[in-house]
Amino acid sequence: MEVAILPTPADCGRVVADVLAATVTGRSAGHRPTLGLATGSSPVLAYRELIRRHREEGLSFAGVRAFLLDEYVGLPPGHPESYRAVIRRELTSSVDFVDSDVDAPDGSAPDPLVAAREYEERLRQGGPVAVQLLGIGANGHIGFNEPGSSLSSVTRVKTLTEQTRRDNARFFERPEDVPRHVITQGLGTISRAQHLLLTATGARKAAAVAAAVEGPLTASCPASVLQLHPHATVVVDEAAAAMLERADYYRYTLQHKLPHQPY
Ligand code: F6R
């Protein structure tokens, strides 16, 4: 696992954008790269940077496919806080992504259990995901795999913890509007991606980042599953890195990266 500690959230956004852009531009002829996109606040600066590069530097997402990590259950289609609507607003409608090339679990399906199984199947057919972008919850969740999630879980319905509902209440009119259930890629599903790219900023994430990177591999910290992955990168600002014991080593490693050594 590589841990990149950068001075500011804007720097994190640029590095995350670099990795996603390299996947998109480095594709071989006839190959359609597949990105795994996250929602929430963590990826927003990276998405803004990608939009800037699209507008000013001609970065094109034509032909790229994307899968979202998760979706709320029970929001009506088109609800502004459904993750399908969020990703359109934050990224895909501002670049040349084709809407039908962006897939997400159907949180408004009559049977969410079936919708979860169908999404897992579409991920198996459409995968592997080249780069899966991840945020991290203050309790160590990735996707909406709350603590206790099996490290080899697949896409399924999960119940949000009250802490996660409170954390996400800022996006809704009233705290009670935050859905209780979600469909999320499982930790096993996420781990099938070729590259896991987790980003976190701010002091509120410091304990979760330290547990994920340096704590034990445990379902109690779902993000610790990154320790099992052959290609995982964690991009954090100084505040989110504050509780990392090996921070000096991570900084040293970054300073001495070989020329052209990718993340
Ligand atoms: C969102 C997701 C969640 C968030 C996490 C952090 O698609 O899967 O795991 O990444 O809750 O949320 P923010 O970035 O809003 O702090």
- The CA dihedral of 239, 244, 248, 249, to the nearest 10 degrees, is -130
- Rounded CA gap, 16 and 201, in Å? 12
Contact present, 65 and 115 (Cβ < 8 Å): no
Nearest-atom index, ligand 1, CA of 40: 15
Query: Using 50, 70 and 90 to split pLDDT, how confident is the model at 30?
Result: confident
pLDDT digits (tens, 9 = 90+) for 173-198: 999 999 999 999 999 999 999 999 99
* pLDDT score at 260: 87
CB of 222 closer than 8 Å to CB of 161: no
CB 9 within 8 A of CB 41: no
User: Which tens digits make up the pLDDT trace of 147-157?
Assistant: 999 999 999 99
146 is catalytic: yes
Helices 44-57 and 9-25: crossing angle in degrees, nearest 10, is 50
Q: For ligand 1, atom 8, which residue shows the shortest CA distance?
A: 143
Task: State the distance from the centre of ligand 1 to the C-alpha of 67, rounded, in angstroms.
Answer: 15
Distance CA 263, CA 252 (A): 15
Q: Which tens digits make up the pLDDT trace of 73-111?
A: 999 989 999 999 999 999 999 999 999 999 999 999 999
* Cα 70 to middle of ligand 1, angstroms: 10
Confidence check: pLDDT of 31 > 90: no
Residue ranges of domains in the chain:
2-255
pLDDT in tens, 117-137: 999 999 999 989 999 999 999
User: 71, 84 in Cβ contact below 8 A?
Assistant: yes
Query: Which of 71, 90, 120, 146 is flagged as catalytic?
Result: 146
Please state the pTM of the whole predicted model.
Answer: 0.97
CATH of 2-255, picked from 1.10.10.10, 3.40.50.300, 3.40.50.1360, 3.40.50.1100, is: 3.40.50.1360
